[in-house]
């Protein structure tokens, strides 16, 4: 993918929506990759730039003005809020290319919604129950075949808010903690680490850009590079790559990290899709320039706007 438009001019304006600063690993690497390609990337703090409807048109207050950019990468992850979604939606209405768009982000930010979309597309996902009332827990546990169970927030990041519930006593203790029936939480059957293989597959622009296997830390069951620091390069089997690509397409995403499990019988399920995946572990394990691949795709997508200016 070329980093120049059809007139030979370099693309110089990439926006990265993030509440984090330039020291945050993905932001730092994306800024570096853009500079290496003769482009200029800027961070957009979603709490400092606001959409305004003026005389029937969307404009923006704050700096930098995203309307002047050629392409924008929303990078807030599952914790993205409604005000930030309004910003992203405004950009979409103005025809500014987005990597990823608002409809896909709304799907990916909610684990239950993601799994529903994937299941409807015939993509394998684990049996899952959404619980939004305290007295639903016992019935949900029975639906999943009993304990142990994994509890997950519907929107979480980097392995946070994932718990293992091994018996009714632990379930009662969990239910005494603050949680909102408006969002609820999801329950899934527990697969112990020794009976599964955890994979993260990164998809960029309809292609698998890289993959790693993840291993939980000793005494933990969560396999996440942020938590364990362990990732090992792997070449995904054709069925794994095909399933990851189908999942990303079903969710309408341009870029995504697809988290998958292979159980002891070789059965594959997708447990989550991250529309703004971290890639420190992937770069460390594989030596790939993941940030460069993301920027290359963004530049390619932004060529249409650059050529029209």
Average pLDDT over residues 234-259: 96
Query: Which has more pLDDT, 23 or 194?
Result: 23
Please say if the pLDDT value at position 36 is more than 90. yes
Nearest to 160 by CA among 151, 149, 173: 151
Residues of the chain with CATH 3.30.470.20: 192-286
Superfamily for domain range 192-286? ATP-grasp fold, B domain (3.30.470.20)
Please say if the pLDDT value at position 40 is more than 70. yes
Confidence of residue 262 (pLDDT cuts 50, 70, 90): confident
Long-range contacts of 155-160 (CB under 8 A, 24+ apart): 155/78, 155/79, 155/109, 155/110, 155/111, 155/183, 156/78, 156/79, 156/111, 157/77, 157/78, 157/79, 157/274, 158/224, 158/226, 158/227, 158/278, 159/222, 159/224, 159/226, 159/227
List C-alpha distances in Å: 134 to 152, 174, 177, 184, 190. 15, 10, 11, 10, 20
122: exposed, middle or buried (Cβ count in 10 Å: 0-12, 13-18, 19+): exposed
Lowest mean pLDDT among 16-20, 57-61, 151-155, 191-195: 191-195
What does the pLDDT read at residue 219?
58
> What is the pLDDT of the chain when averaged over all its residues?
87
Average pLDDT over residues 145-169: 85
As beta bridge partners, residue 208 has 203
Whether CATH 3.30.1490.20 fits 128-189: yes
Q: What is the CATH number of domain 14-107+289-308?
A: 3.40.50.20
What does the pLDDT read at residue 159?
56
Average pLDDT over residues 61-90: 90
Please say if the pLDDT value at position 10 is more than 50. no
Q: For a pLDDT cut of 70, what percent of the chain falls above it?
A: 88
Please say if the pLDDT value at position 104 is more than 60. yes
Lowest mean pLDDT among 31-40, 157-166, 242-251: 157-166
Lowest mean pLDDT among 85-94, 164-173, 205-214, 259-268: 259-268
Please say if the pLDDT value at position 142 is more than 50. yes
Confidence of residue 224 (pLDDT cuts 50, 70, 90): low
List C-alpha distances in Å: 58 to 88, 93, 94, 95, 305. 11, 8, 7, 11, 18
The highest-confidence range among 81-90, 125-134, 228-237, 245-254, by mean pLDDT, is 245-254
Residues of the chain with CATH 3.40.50.20: 14-107+289-308
What does the pLDDT read at residue 222?
56
Q: How far apart are CA 218 and CA 225, in angstroms?
A: 13
**Using one digit for the tens of pLDDT, what is the confidence trace for 190-215?**
888 777 888 999 999 999 999 998 87
């Amino acid at each position: 993918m070329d980093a120049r438009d059809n007139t030979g001019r370099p693309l110089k304006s990439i926006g990265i929506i993030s509440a984090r600063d330039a020291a945050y690993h993905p932001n730092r690497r994306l800024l570096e990759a853009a500079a290496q390609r003769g482009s200029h990337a800027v961070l957009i703090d979603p709490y400092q730039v606001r959409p305004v409807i003026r005389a029937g048109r969307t404009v923006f207050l704050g700096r930098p003005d995203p309307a002047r950019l050629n392409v924008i990468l929303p990078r807030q992850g599952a914790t993205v809020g409604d005000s930030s979604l309004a910003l992203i939606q405004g950009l979409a209405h103005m025809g500014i290319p987005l990597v990823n768009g608002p409809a896909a982000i709304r799907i990916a930010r909610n684990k239950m919604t993601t799994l529903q979309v994937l299941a409807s597309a015939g993509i394998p996902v684990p049996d899952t129950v959404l619980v939004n009332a305290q007295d639903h827990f016992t019935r949900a546990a029975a639906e999943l075949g009993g304990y142990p169970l994994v509890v997950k927030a519907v929107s979480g990041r980097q392995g946070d808010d994932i718990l293992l519930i091994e018996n009714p006593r632990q379930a009662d203790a969990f239910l005494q903690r603050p949680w909102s029936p408006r969002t609820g939480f999801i329950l899934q059957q527990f697969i112990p680490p020794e009976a599964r293989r955890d994979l993260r597959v990164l998809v960029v622009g309809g292609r698998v850009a890289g993959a790693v296997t993840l291993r939980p830390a000793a005494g933990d069951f969560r396999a996440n590079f942020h938590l364990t620091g362990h990732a090992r390069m792997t070449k995904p089997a054709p069925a794994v790559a095909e399933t990851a690509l189908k999942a990303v397409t079903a969710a309408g995403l341009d870029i995504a990290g697809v988290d998958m499990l292979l159980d002891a019988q070789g059965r594959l399920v997708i447990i989550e899709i991250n529309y703004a995946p971290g890639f420190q572990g992937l770069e460390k394990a594989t030596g790939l320039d993941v940030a460069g691949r993301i920027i290359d795709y963004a530049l390619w997508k932004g060529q249409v706007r650059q050529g029209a200016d």
